[in-house]
């Protein structure tokens, strides 16, 4: 299975699909969670995600060092990374510039893709809406798009989820060379 990237809007079914895929795995499962409970609403979201996971799964809460967390997962563990969206936000809050975030994204994606056991990474697709009015939001939207593209490039499979349904995403150059 290798690396699979699940992209989509909020509440599109990305995390639910990642969990369903992990449920099919006969071995151990590790969830690398990047969210931080900075307010009551986010704490409730995190609690709901935790409660939805089977008791035997390991959870690693790692908001910044994603590559290290993926590398530290057992070699036979199915890894769910949930999610790249918050991870990028966390890195920006730490003051990293775009090149540093992109470098970390490529390195973490390469580590995930090189694992013997499957890895599924979840991320929001935020570039389909209007252009944000302020530079900070535009920077985040653009950078997350680049991070998503880096992970998708490293992945054997990428899916876009809409309303709980998945659309496979193909490398456009492969599509054009086959046609």
Domain containing 17 — which CATH number? 3.40.50.300
Mean pLDDT over 38-59 rounds to: 92
Biggest alpha carbon–alpha carbon distance for the chain: 52
pLDDT at residue 73, rounded to an integer: 96
In a domain, 149, yes or no: yes
In a domain, 125, yes or no: no
Q: Which of 39-53, 71-85, 92-106, 149-163 has the lowest mean pLDDT?
A: 39-53
Question: What domain range includes position 48?
Answer: 3-75+86-117+143-178
In a domain, 137, yes or no: no
31 versus 74: the higher-pLDDT residue is 31
In a domain, 24, yes or no: yes
In a domain, 9, yes or no: yes
If one counts the domains in the chain, the total is 1
Kindly list the catalytic residues: 49
Q: List the alpha helices (DSSP H) in 53-171.
A: 66-72, 84-93, 98-114, 135-154
Please provide the average confidence, as pLDDT, over all residues in the chain: 94
Is the pLDDT at 115 greater than 90? The verdict is yes
Is the pLDDT at 32 greater than 90? The verdict is yes
Question: 0.75 cut: is pTM over it?
Answer: yes
Q: Which is nearest to 16 in space by CA: 6, 26, 2?
A: 6
Q: Which of 36-45, 109-118, 146-155 has the lowest mean pLDDT?
A: 36-45
In a domain, 132, yes or no: no
pLDDT at residue 169, rounded to an integer: 95
In a domain, 126, yes or no: no
In a domain, 129, yes or no: no
**Residue matched to tokens 């895929």:** 21
Is the pLDDT at 59 greater than 70? The verdict is yes
Q: Which helix (H) or strand (E) holds 165?
A: strand 165-169
Is the pLDDT at 179 greater than 80? The verdict is no
Predicted confidence band of residue 44 (pLDDT cuts 50, 70, 90): very high
Burial label, 179 (beta-carbon count in 10 A; 0-12, 13-18, 19+): exposed
């Amino acid at each position: 299975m290798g690396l699979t990237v699940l992209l989509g809007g909020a509440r599109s079914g990305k995390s639910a699909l990642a969990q369903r895929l992990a449920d099919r795995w006969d071995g151990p499962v590790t969830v690398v969670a990047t969210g931080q409970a900075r307010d009551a609403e986010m704490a409730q979201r995190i609690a709901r995600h935790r409660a939805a996971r089977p008791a035997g799964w390991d959870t690693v809460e790692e908001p910044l060092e994603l590559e290290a967390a993926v590398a530290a997962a057992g070699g036979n563990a199915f890894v769910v990374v949930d999610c790249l969206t918050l991870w990028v936000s966390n890195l920006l809050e730490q003051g990293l510039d775009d090149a540093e975030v992109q470098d970390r994204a490529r390195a973490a994606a390469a580590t995930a893709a090189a694992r013997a056991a499957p890895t599924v990474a979840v991320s929001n697709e935020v570039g389909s809406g209007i252009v944000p009015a302020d530079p900070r939001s535009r920077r985040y939207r653009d950078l997350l798009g680049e991070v998503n593209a880096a992970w998708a490039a490293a992945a054997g499979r990428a899916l876009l989820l809409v309303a709980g349904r998945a659309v496979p995403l193909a490398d456009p150059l492969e599509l054009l060379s086959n046609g």
